Chains A and B, each alone.
Chain A
């Protein structure tokens, strides 16, 4: 059907609302309570527009003297979010209607009556729809001369969410999210009129596994993250489009970094993967990117250089026949890393490749997957090349029986569960490529620091078979140039010069992506590794690096690979 917005005709299908059509054709209509992932509430009144439908006579649409349809305008502005479009409907937004412009000013003046206007100390400032809409559509000032009402502040709604009732504009996005998406109706609006605010039932908490999404969808600073409060202003951080590696869902995220430290992770919209949401566990898993890191290679606890480390690696793996070496590949590392590991050790004659299972619990109704490792699907693609994978159990018994004497662990922690100290003493040498300090790094002979997913570029394949990229959000000590190009930069990073104190990055780790450690001069970038592996793996033959983009691409469902037992 044909509809007209601001005198421009658009062709639309189905029964969309005015707001849906407007956002699709690029007409901005300000709003607070509307969210594409939630039911329509229509309570904030910010999206008011004028709307009218053609007058129907006995012979169809009535025309005026100029031959244009006569429009019956609604007597008052209407909410764009809750009004469905119909054939020939005409809409005037603030761009063409004085009435709408005035209405928006009025709505904002009312919303701001009891809003504390504490933007200078508010975490939301800089990414606040209320701030932005007030700047663009709001009145010049307020005519409200009385004391603003006072409401509860610093309310701990749950383990992760802090609430400030004075900032709240009662859009009920959080209430609807809890009910409709998280399926945990823990929030409600209590009391009435200007005294109302969001609350849980007394003695109960907002503690569902998706509770922190309410922070993202809150259009003001009423709901803030307990972990991120007062850590940084939004504009001080760089944001890098990446994916979450907390489980095999592969939710799209933005990684927010200040001074080379990850401060928060927020979901990024991707309709085929995670829509607008992510779970709290994935969101809070970033501490391991900053803390407890392996920095610089070491041999038996002594720091060594990267050249010495490379020599030690070939010494240790050359000290026994290749059949006695086991290599643990990692579903936490990128496809490129695993490909490089398997190629490298396969060329040396190694036949025992091990893959651990990280399944725990079961899939839930929304995003959380039972498989807690992000890249098992990539290992499945590499299974044929590796000649099949041993399980953790098979590895343990092969070590006990003395068949395997050197263990290479890539971004895994075998001594944190699968293997014991008895196994350690049965092994001649242990080599660990690791991002973080753990039981394996403390008992390994050679420790090679690996870049985390927030410092490397590479691909992951999620449970649905969608190939997606992680991008470097933090820099490393010896930054590979191909990574540097992709690293997200904040305004501070871009405009700083070397004498600015705040431009000196801290938390810089001396680590490298595993493919870079192993390949020597063979590959210059992750892209090169990828183009090599795309040629070798049939499932990726038609995939090009640039095509993956920020949204990922769905791979053809792979045929079940044959498992080869060594």
Chain B
């Protein structure tokens, strides 16, 4: 059963104070829940958000399901999010995706059996100047090449 930590409850109270209505605090509170819950939102976590904000669970899942950056499925320790928008595609994002698929033996959206990696394709990361780019959890890896990807995986796999 999911319940917020004392510290997160304090953070939630602070978020609630920022907005005129609790509905506005749904997104930051969902984010807090996702971080506490190992980078994904379980049904219990969504219900806990509804509970602390005194909203209906239906309303909260409506918000959570709208945004792709709220993960509704468990994700691996490292969430590899490769940008495939126009600048990255022009600079070889598809090659990076195929390389990762082969290397990790995964198709897009899947998680490795050991729970280390989740691999997904995302829209523009706003990093067109350093395309192709990828986001690993909250960090950007830029100017990707297949060699750079191999190096990264070696690093992460340690």
> Interface on A for B, CB 8 Å cutoff?
179, 185-192, 199-204
Contacts and interface: CB of A to CB of B under 8 A. Distances in A.
A185 B58 contact: yes
Interface residues of B, number: 13
B33 to A, nearest CB: 15
A179 B58 CA distance: 11
5 contacts: A186-B58, A188-B59, A191-B66, A192-B65, A204-B58
A190 B66 CA distance: 6
Contacts of A200: 58
B23 to A, nearest CB: 11
B43 interface: yes
Interface in B52-68: 55-59, 61-62, 65-67
Contacts of B67: 192
B43 A188 contact: no
A276 to B, nearest CB: 23
A185 B58 CA distance: 7
Given A191-B66, A202-B43, A203-B43, A185 B56 contact: yes
Contacts of B43: 201-203
Contacts, number: 38
B56 A190 contact: no
A200 B47 CA distance: 13
A190 B57 contact: no
Nearest to A186: B58
Q: Interface majority SS on B: helix, strand, loop or mixed?
A: helix
Contacts of B57: 201, 204
A201 B55 CA distance: 12
Contacts of A190: 61-62, 65-66
Contacts of A192: 65-67
Given A188-B62, A192-B67, 9 more contacts: A179-B56, A185-B55, A186-B56, A188-B59, A190-B61, A199-B58, A200-B58, A201-B57, A201-B58
B29 to A, nearest CB: 16
B35 to A, nearest CB: 22
A199 to B, nearest CB: 8
A398 B61 CA distance: 61
A199 B46 CA distance: 15
Q: Interface majority SS on A: helix, strand, loop or mixed?
A: loop
Contacts of A179: 56
A203 B58 CA distance: 11
A179 to B, nearest CB: 8
A420 B65 CA distance: 58
Among B43, B46, B66, the one with the most A-chain Cβ atoms within 10 Å of its Cβ is: B66
A185 B59 contact: yes
B59 to A, nearest CB: 6
B66 A201 contact: no
A190 B67 CA distance: 10
Nearest to B68: A192
Contacts of B58: 185-188, 199-201, 204
Given A185-B56, A186-B56, A201 B61 contact: yes
Nearest to B61: A201
Contact of A191 (B46, B59, B65): B65
Contacts of B62: 188-190
B150 to A, nearest CB: 35
Contacts of B47: 201
A384 B61 CA distance: 59
Interface string B38-79: 000001001100000001111101100111000000000000
A200 B62 CA distance: 9
Nearest to B65: A190
A179 B23 CA distance: 14
Among A188, A189, A202, A204, the one with the most B-chain Cβ atoms within 10 Å of its Cβ is: A188
Closest 7 CB pairs of A and B: A188-B62, A185-B56, A188-B58, A201-B57, A190-B65, A201-B58, A192-B66
